[in-house]
Amino acid sequence: MKPGEGLTLALSALYFFTLLAGYSILRPVREAMGLSGGADKLPLLFTGTMIGMILVNPAFAWLVTRVRRRVFIPAVYVISIAFLIGFRVAFDLVPKSHETWIAYPYFAFVSVFNLFVVSVFWGFMADLWQLEQAKRLYGFIGAGGTLGAFVGALSTTWLATRMGSLNLLYLSAGMLLLSIGCIQWLMHIHHIDRVGERSRPGDEERHLRGPPTAADTWRGVKLVGTNPYLRTIASYTFLYGLIGTFLYFQQGHLVESGIPNRDDRTRYFGIVDTVAQSMTGLIQIFFTGRLIKRFGITFALNTQPVIALVGWIALACTMLFGPSLFAPGSRLAGLTPELCVLVVVQVLLRASNFATARPARESLYTVVGREMKYKSKSFIDTFVYRFADATGGWTFAGLQWAGLALPAIAVVTIPLTGVWILVGRALGRRQRELVAESSAAETLGNQTIASKSAAIA
C-alpha cells in the first residue's frame, strides 16, 4: 500500500465484505426455498433463472451505458433491498399453502442478484483503481469478500433456527445498506461523475469490460463457434455447470427427504457454506499461488473434475451399500451416510473452485486477444453456464422419469465426469501450446528488429 491509498482500500474491502456477507445470508435461504414445492420442481427453477438472466441482462447493459454511476450503482442496491423487504412482507401475507408463489420468484431473484451486484462491484473497483494498483491491492479486497462470505454463512448457521430463516432477509438488507454507505463515501472522496472529472489510463479497456450488449453477445457466439480453443473452454464450462447441477439435485432430493423443516434446511445449507468458505480462505492464503506455480494450469483445471469423480464414486457406493448412521426419529435422522458424503464433496468442490479451478479458468483467456477475451468470456460465463444448469436440470429429471433412482443416476454421472477430466487435460495442453507459440513469435519479432537495427547501423 502506498500513501493516499489506505482509506479507499479499507472502504473497498469493507464494501466487498458487506456485499458478500449479505449474499451469503441469502444463499442458504434460497436453497431451502427451492425445495418448498419439492426437489422435482428444481428443473423449472433453473430454467426460470436462465430466462431471467437473459431478460435482465440487456436492461442492465442499457442502464449502465445511459445512467450516471453516482445514480446507477447505489440504485442497484436500493432496488435489491426493496425486493428483499418486499419478499419478507409477502411471505407473511400469502397463505402457507401458496408459499411457493413467493419462494420460487425469490429463488430466481437471488440467483440474478448475485450476478449483477458482484458485476457492479468489480466495475466500480475498475473505476477507482488503475492497473498497477489493482495488481497490488485486489488480493486484499478479495480477502475482505472471502471474510464477508464466511461471516454471512456463519451468521445464517447460528441464527436460522433462532430468529427464523425468513427474518434473515432483514439482516441481509442491513448488510446491503452498509454497502451503499461505502459506495457513497468512495464516490465522495473520488469525485465520481462530478464536473471536471478526468479520464484515466485504461478507461477504454474498462469500458470494454462492461456489461455485454446484444452485438457483443452475438460476436461472442461467433468467436466461440469458430475458434477451437474457445470451444474447448466452453465445453469445460458446460460440463462444470452440468455435473454441478446433477450434484445440486442429488443434494436437493436427499435434503428434502431427510430434513423436513425449512429453518433446519437453511441451517444445513449455512453449515455447508461456512465450512466451504473457511477452507477457501485457508487455501487462497497459503496454497493457491504455490499449487498453480508448482503443478501448472492443467492440475488446477482438473482439481474439480477429479474431486467430482471420486465424490460420485463414493456417493454411488454409499447409496447402494451404506446403512443409515442415525436412528429414525432422532434430531439428526436426516443425516444419512449419503448426505454426509455429499456434504464433504460439496465443500471440497466449492473450496477448489475459488482456490484453484476458477483462477485457472480466468488465466485461460490471457493467451487470446482482447476482443476474444472479453466478448467470448462474457458469452461463456453467462449463457453457456446457465444453459448447462438448465440442461443438467432437465436431464436429471428425464433420467428420473425414465425410472432411474438416485444411486443409478450417480453411477451414470461417473463416466461423464471422466469426460470432464479429459477436456480439462486437453485445455491445459492447448494453453501451453499457445503460450509457446506466443513466446516463439515474440522471440522471432525481437530477432527481426535486431537484424534490421544492425543493418541500419
What residue has cell string 466487498? 16
In this predicted structure, what is the pLDDT of residue 115? 73
Rounded CA separation 137/420 (Å): 34
Q: What is the pLDDT of residue 95?
A: 86
* Average pLDDT over the chain, rounded to an integer: 80
What integer pLDDT is reported at residue 285 of this predicted model? 64
Question: What pLDDT, on the 0 to 100 scale, is given for residue 171?
Answer: 94
Is a pLDDT exceeding 70 seen at residue 206? no
- At 107, which amino acid appears? F
Please write the tens of the pLDDT for every residue from 126-146. 778 876 776 677 777 878 888
- Give the residue from 99, 79, 102 showing the smallest Cα distance to 173: 79
Average pLDDT score over residue span 81-88: 94
* pLDDT reported for residue 196: 44
Cell numbers for 445, please give them.
Answer: 519479432
pLDDT tens per residue, range 217-269: 667 678 888 889 999 999 999 999 999 999 989 888 888 887 888 888 888 88
Check pLDDT > 90 for residue 175: yes
The residue written with cell numbers 428425464 in the block is 398
Q: In one letter, which amino acid is 149?
A: A
| Residue 59 exposed, middle or buried by CB count within 10 Å (0-12, 13-18, 19+) | exposed
Nearest to 400 by CA among 253, 256, 265, 260: 253
Instruction: Read off the pLDDT of each residue in 275-294 and give the average, rounded to a whole number.
Output: 70
- pLDDT recorded at residue 96: 80
Please tell me the least confidently modeled range out of 128-137, 164-173, 249-258, 421-430.
128-137
Amino acid 216: pLDDT: 58
What does the angle CA 90 – CA 254 – CA 398 come to, to the nearest 5 degrees? 90
What average pLDDT does the segment 199-227 reach?
59
pLDDT value at 213 more than 90:
no
Indicate the DSSP class of residue 94: S
Share of the chain above pLDDT 90, in %: 24
Reported confidence tier of residue 203, pLDDT bands at 50, 70, 90: very low
Task: Using the predicted structure, report yes or no on whether residue 168 has a pLDDT greater than 90.
Answer: yes
Nearest to 349 by CA among 286, 307, 316, 411: 307
In 30-86, beta strands by DSSP E: none
Checking if the pLDDT of 53 tops 50, the result is yes
Q: Each residue of 304-326: pLDDT tens digit?
A: 899 999 999 998 888 887 654 44
Q: Choose the weakest-confidence range: 45-54, 166-175, 422-431.
A: 45-54
Confidence of residue 443 (pLDDT cuts 50, 70, 90): low
Model confidence at 382: pLDDT above 60: yes
pLDDT at 273 over 80: yes
How much is the average pLDDT of 283-288?
64
